[in-house]
Structure 1
Amino acid sequence: MERKKRTKRKNRGKRFSRAAAIGLTFAVTGIAACAGVYFVKKDGRETPEELLSRYMALIGKQDYEGMYEMTDPENSAYKDQEAFIQRNSAIYEGIEAENIQVEIQDYDGEKNAVMYEMSLDTAAGKFRFENEMHFTDTEDGYQILWHDGLIFPGLSDSDKVRIDTAPAARGKIFDRNDRMLAGPGTASSVGIVPGKLENEESALRQLSELLDTDPETIQNRLGAAWVKEDSFVPVKTIPKVSELDLMALEPDEKALQEKARQDALLAVPGVMITDTEVRTYPFGPAAGHLTGYVGNVTAEDLEEHAGEGYNENSVIGRSGLEGLFEKELKGRDGCSIYIEDKDGAQKSVLASRPVEHGRDITLTIDAHLQESLYRQFQEDPGCSAAMNPYTGEVLALVSTPSFDSNDFILGLSDAQWNALNEEERKPLLNRFRQVWCPGSTFKPVIAAIGLKTGTVDPQEDFGNVGLSWQKDTSWGDYFVTTLHAYEPVTMENALIYSDNIYFAKAALKISAQTLEASLKELGFGEELPFEIVMPSSRFSNTEHIESEIQLADSGYGQGQILVNPLHLASLYTAFCNGGNALKPYLARSGESGTEFWLPGIFPADTAAQVLEGMKKAVNSPEGTGYAAHREDIVLAGKTGTAEIKASVEDTEGTEIGWFAVLTAEKEARTPVLIVSMVENVKEIGGSGYVVNKDKIVLDEYLGSGQ
């Protein structure tokens, strides 16, 4: 079996048989008794029809030795068993034959010939043909008169069966403005031309140091069977240095270091650097957790995805959007199987399947907003989710610190992989796919529940009790604390000043049973309807809120309340959409569009009243989010600081800082809702740290406006 290829393929010299991995199958689908012809054993011997059926079954078992033993070698095309086995195995396994079906149609006793129809699945699709098998009748029984035409009609011993493959191009991933997030790019392939090496030992040592590669690995590649003196033997793929980056007024330090490394590589006699096409991620770590990356298929992948068009040269999405949209992105290789004569001319096409390139995916993501959020928080363990609060389009999903997907494409060294895994800030952890204690960003939700259920009067003055409070002495040493004293202690002022005590009292008024039921109506305990699977938000570690203290703490987003950031963002959309929470979506297509996930979760007047309090939390000088206010655009939002303690007595716990902010008017030219979280803000300014970072992002996204 020989192959022609239209494009350069990886892993040259590596022999692989998908058929060998999954096994061939065989079935006789029927026997036609034509014109009263019946197949009868002669003297108890195996009939030609039975012999044919057994022979075809052996093809399915890849038992080529058994097939040969059924032939008449003296009168067949192949007298040599090894040549027979090589010819048959190369063709059947090379075309990935499986699901062999045979239907016997007739028997000619004078010719000792069985006529049959055969079909089989191949790498290029199904192939069906009619054929006939002739036999010699000996004292020991019938034997097959074998010739190449029994494999395929018209195939002679001087012909070759060729496979011509056209690899499918993987689809690209674009943001809403057609900026490419994932697609084809160019890298540099570092390799060796053996005949030009002057001192192999020295060259391998230098390459090993410069490429962080084991010298034995390089030596093994040079020792491959296909390597000749003038061959280019690839060793490692590295980033391509852009001349534009080097010509910048302030060249990127990383680009300068890479250029120096490549100059050192080229100084080694026998080393060459050529361009090679790779999957690339232009926004690097800014979108690492979002895009994910692809990897070469493994034997396990091929077994798991048998029949889906993967081969040993394929790549497969390993994480993120690359994995989520794998079926759409991958495409299917084109393939043609044909017979070629001894002069190289094509005699006949046996099976053909056109190439199907992968489908491009366009997202609702705004890559510039994604990059802006990453740039502000890249050093902070945290995450951000951004949406259009009036459509449900997800504009950004950022997790920090991050990783560069391009590093996985080029190949991580053991040192790089260990550094990623051992890094204290956990750059491989996708934080926007976790649940977190929301702190005071949960207060608007509690306010809306109190209004909806009629358990909280927004005009009631809960009274100024100072900066700490407990319901009664049954709480022991436990007090709810707050940062600001103010009057009157009403719902709107409590949102402005972010009063923990007010919302602890509000939760007690609502009651545990009502709060549990209300939160279930808000999607707690159920899966968020979104393309990327997110963990469910929850209000307790058990099925219920178990105590008064836990209930009070839940009122200001602590206790055992845990919320996914995108879920929280979706709930916030209800405040500016008449009480209807929007369904977030990521892929732009003809079916995408504004859709309510939780319609009517709050009455319209309740949503409007809470939104007014959120506006003042940003625009009143006393508001905790005032640092983000603008003169040109009305913003609404809520800050939050959640204490993470090992116990009630813990005084060394960390603090999670939050800021949720949105353009509060539907007519806003660039509507946006951002929910940002930083894991530990205790020593860097609390939630104010997050507010200041998000203000910079908003200024970049909306314009400075000042």
Structure 2
Amino acid sequence: MLLRNKRNLIIAGVVVICLIIVTVFFIFTGGKNADDYVEDYFALLEDKDYSKMYDMLSDDPKVDKDVFEERYTNIYEGIEAQDFSLKINSVEDDVVDYSLTMNTVAGKVTSNNQVKVTDGKLAYNEALILEGLESDYRVRVSSESATRGRILDRNGNELATQGEAYEAGLVPGKLNGEADYERIGSLLNMSSAEIKDEMSASWIKDDSFVPLKEFAKDSSGQALVNQLIAIPGVKVNTTTVRYYPYGEATSHLTGYLQQVNAEDLEKHKGEGYDESSLIGRSGIEAAYEADLKGSNGHEIRIVDEDNELVKTVASKDVEDGKDITLTIDVTLQQSLYNEYQNDQSASVAMNPKTGEILALVSTPSFSSNDFILGFDNEQWQALNDNASKPLTNRYRSTFVPGSSMKPITAAIGLDSGAIDPDKDLKAEDRWQKDSSWGNYYVTTLHAPTPNNLRNALIYSDNVYFAKAATNIGKDDLISGYDRLEIGSKIPFELSLNASQYQNKDSDFDDQQLADSGYGQGELLMNPVQLAAIYSAFVNEGDIIQPYLIMNEKPDQMWVENAFTKDTANTIKDDLIGVISDSNGTGHAIYHNDIELAGKTGTAEIKASQDDTTGTELGWFTVMTTNSDNPILITTMVENVKDRGGSGYVVDHMQAPLNSYLYK
């Protein structure tokens, strides 16, 4: 009995001791297994908390903490490691076999390793950082920059491409100290303080080349080179830059590049941008940034102490950017720019049968090359303070259309049955619906007799179209505008401001209704949309969908049956009269060998009917009707008052139109 009790006591004691051991283990380990500690370790890696990672290593890690943190930082930031994923393959005798997968600058990398865990501490080995790494090995990352895609016109002419520029810089060991900074700065439009700031970088050595500024590689640039290299320590190299061969003529269209900012880096995280990257900031450069940019090539290698290759960890081939071919005819683009370059204008040229945009011009303009080579403060300020606003892209904007809307009013009226094209509305120089308008009258410069639709379009009679809009009525006129998508987002590769027929919360009273009939009121039209609507008059009532990227023609019309076939043909015939009739407002551009149709427009911009200080916008749309070389051009010019009104636009349309028709 005593023996049995003694045996039971021994068993109980063993159990108690085991429980104590287990309890102590749980107290010191928190109940974790070896693989749990490995998971904790790499969770800290995601947060870049290298200090706490070091604290999880065994008491004899064989590496100094500062060295450990610096090594992890340099390697993981160098390979741009992110999005870590850990897989525990097996655990045996507290040795954890794992695979760590991460995304890097050279693609996905999986690092396989084993680590011993003792009392919650990991035994350090270099492969914890990267498989194949040893203490005297280094990780190297090499890169090959992608060539940005070109922007081409329909004939393969380069609108944006790779070019060369001069790059001036300093070699510190060859300078006369800071004695020549002022002289160098005066040549490069930099202050001595700016040069000192550039020369204060920690990486600079006596034989380093410290770049200061890029400038054009042309005759004036060569003259500057000759002055610069006469100064000790100044060196000038040739560098590759983005180049826009047609300068101001295409800059609003192509857009330009700028160096990325913090917002860009955050927005495009993981897309291969760094602090030195350029990004499309406007125009085609911005809209097609993802296609044009390409993807840099990268290779991650482990090398030994002699810089000999040990292992290629990952590699990614360079992918050059794609070329973007536009429907633009750069010869026509240049011609329109040359004619209106001194005006504040917008021009849209298109093939009215296909919708291909042949030219998109905004004047005055700027040169995209200046954004590449850089502005000094004075140049940038002058560009922004220019009263003509060369940075404003006018073909994106909306403007009061004036008489350019009359054919549209007429077409809506014909389709609604409110306009009888042969009816004489009685010629009047001034008119009001009734006495409720007080002193407000619609006036016109030309009141033809008979006062029918054809004559009203040929002579551009405001009163006729005010009466016509009143007869159409508010509901039918607005319904017509809505059918034409006026006020809706314009489907186009570049962002365009939406047109409108009334302001928000507008009452659209009878007076506004009448004014809308001849293109005033609260109407604002985008030039691209106005041109597209005019295409309906040579497409039996269908509005063509404009497009800008070659071989990407939309599958369907923008608005099918916007007008009936009969209405479209009636308006087309009347617009032919605007050009062919000697009394027509567009007769100055008449061609006896090519049938043209068109409409002028003069929009008044003033505070009230009595305001004599306001300005005027001039419009002109001209199009072929049966040519083998179809074209439609819409141009708007600001400030044409006392310069011939819309006649100024007509006169300057001759050269661009002829350059295209007779090429």
**Equivalent residue, structure 1, for 2:516:** 554
**Equivalent residue, structure 2, for 1:252:** none
2:607 aligned with 1:649, yes or no? no
The answer to whether the 8 Å contact 2:447/2:456 transfers is no
**Equivalent residue, structure 2, for 1:373:** 336
Equivalent residue in structure 2 for 1:89, among 54, 73, 92:
73
Q: CA RMSD in A?
A: 1.9
Moved more, 593-602 or 557-566: 593-602
**Equivalent residue, structure 2, for 1:232:** 209
Equivalent AA in structure 2 for residue 69 of structure 1: D
Q: Secondary structure at the match of 2:616?
A: strand
2:649 aligned with 1:687, yes or no? no
The CA distance in 2 between the partners of 1:460 and 1:41, in whole Å, is 107
**Equivalent residue, structure 2, for 1:314:** 277
2:603 aligned with 1:620, yes or no? no
Equivalent AA in structure 1 for residue 189 of structure 2: D
2:409 aligned with 1:464, yes or no? no
2:99 aligned with 1:122, yes or no? no
The answer to whether the 8 Å contact 1:582/1:594 transfers is no
**Superposition map of 1:508-587 within 5 A:** 508-542=470-504, 546-587=508-549
Q: Could you state the TM-score of these two structures normalised by the residue count of structure 2?
A: 0.93
Percent of paired sites with the same residue: 46
**Superposition map of 1:16-95 within 5 A:** 42-46=25-29, 47-74=33-60, 76-78=61-63, 80-95=64-79
Moved more, 285-294 or 634-643: 285-294
Q: CA deviation at 1:544?
A: 5.6
The CA distance in 1 between the partners of 2:305 and 2:155, in whole Å, is 54
The answer to whether the 8 Å contact 1:438/1:641 transfers is yes
Residues 514-534 of structure 1: CA deviation (Å, up to 9, x unaligned):
101111001112111111121
Stretches of structure 1 lacking an aligned partner (at least 5 in a row): 1-38, 242-254
Q: CA deviation at 1:655?
A: 0.7
**Equivalent residue, structure 1, for 2:151:** 173
Equivalent residue in structure 2 for 1:187, among 158, 165, 180:
165
**Equivalent residue, structure 2, for 1:475:** 437
Equivalent AA in structure 1 for residue 657 of structure 2: L
Q: Secondary structure at the match of 1:117?
A: strand
The answer to whether the 8 Å contact 1:438/1:563 transfers is yes
Equivalent AA in structure 1 for residue 309 of structure 2: Q
The answer to whether the 8 Å contact 1:77/1:148 transfers is no
The CA distance in 2 between the partners of 1:272 and 1:146, in whole Å, is 49
Equivalent AA in structure 2 for residue 185 of structure 1: G
**Equivalent residue, structure 1, for 2:195:** 218
Q: 1:687 to 1:546 in 2, by over 3 A?
A: same
Q: Could you state the TM-score of these two structures normalised by the residue count of structure 1?
A: 0.87
The CA distance in 2 between the partners of 1:593 and 1:50, in whole Å, is 57
**Equivalent residue, structure 1, for 2:16:** none
The answer to whether the 8 Å contact 2:166/2:221 transfers is no
Equivalent AA in structure 1 for residue 74 of structure 2: A
Q: Secondary structure at the match of 1:596?
A: coil
Moved more, 184-193 or 123-132: 123-132
**Equivalent residue, structure 1, for 2:383:** 420
The CA distance in 2 between the partners of 1:635 and 1:268, in whole Å, is 63
Q: CA deviation at 1:195?
A: 3.2
2:241 aligned with 1:278, yes or no? yes
Equivalent AA in structure 1 for residue 113 of structure 2: N
Q: CA deviation at 1:571?
A: 0.2
> Which one has the largest radius of gyration?
2
**Equivalent residue, structure 1, for 2:637:** 678
Equivalent AA in structure 2 for residue 509 of structure 1: N
**Equivalent residue, structure 1, for 2:4:** none
The CA distance in 2 between the partners of 1:425 and 1:473, in whole Å, is 42
Residues 108-162 of structure 1: CA deviation (Å, up to 9, x unaligned):
22xx411222211211121124321014x4xxx3432212122223221121112
The answer to whether the 8 Å contact 1:392/1:595 transfers is no
Q: Secondary structure at the match of 1:681?
A: coil
The CA distance in 1 between the partners of 2:275 and 2:176, in whole Å, is 35
Stretches of structure 2 lacking an aligned partner (at least 5 in a row): 1-21
2:590 aligned with 1:629, yes or no? yes
Q: Secondary structure at the match of 2:250?
A: helix
The CA distance in 1 between the partners of 2:137 and 2:534, in whole Å, is 70
Q: Secondary structure at the match of 1:563?
A: coil
The CA distance in 2 between the partners of 1:670 and 1:410, in whole Å, is 39
Q: Secondary structure at the match of 2:375?
A: coil
Q: 1:86 to 1:607 in 2, by over 3 A?
A: same
2:446 aligned with 1:506, yes or no? no
Q: CA deviation at 1:198?
A: 4.0
The answer to whether the 8 Å contact 1:441/1:640 transfers is yes
Equivalent residue in structure 2 for 1:132, among 105, 108, 114:
114
The answer to whether the 8 Å contact 1:64/1:85 transfers is yes
Q: CA deviation at 1:65?
A: 1.9
2:128 aligned with 1:144, yes or no? no
Residues 165-200 of structure 1: CA deviation (Å, up to 9, x unaligned):
122211111111111111211111112233333474
Q: CA deviation at 1:351?
A: 2.0
2:61 aligned with 1:99, yes or no? no
The CA distance in 2 between the partners of 1:543 and 1:618, in whole Å, is 39
Q: CA deviation at 1:258?
A: 4.5
What is the aligned residue count? 639
**Equivalent residue, structure 1, for 2:137:** 159
Q: Secondary structure at the match of 2:652?
A: helix
The CA distance in 2 between the partners of 1:85 and 1:337, in whole Å, is 20
The answer to whether the 8 Å contact 1:539/1:545 transfers is no
The answer to whether the 8 Å contact 1:324/1:532 transfers is yes
The CA distance in 2 between the partners of 1:490 and 1:703, in whole Å, is 35
Equivalent AA in structure 1 for residue 42 of structure 2: M
Equivalent AA in structure 1 for residue 446 of structure 2: H
Q: CA deviation at 1:593?
A: 4.9
**Equivalent residue, structure 2, for 1:698:** 657
The answer to whether the 8 Å contact 1:392/1:594 transfers is no
Residues 320-375 of structure 1: CA deviation (Å, up to 9, x unaligned):
11111111111111222122223333222222222222111101111111111111
**Equivalent residue, structure 1, for 2:8:** none
The CA distance in 2 between the partners of 1:527 and 1:567, in whole Å, is 10
The answer to whether the 8 Å contact 1:516/1:544 transfers is no
Q: Secondary structure at the match of 1:101?
A: strand
The CA distance in 2 between the partners of 1:117 and 1:86, in whole Å, is 23
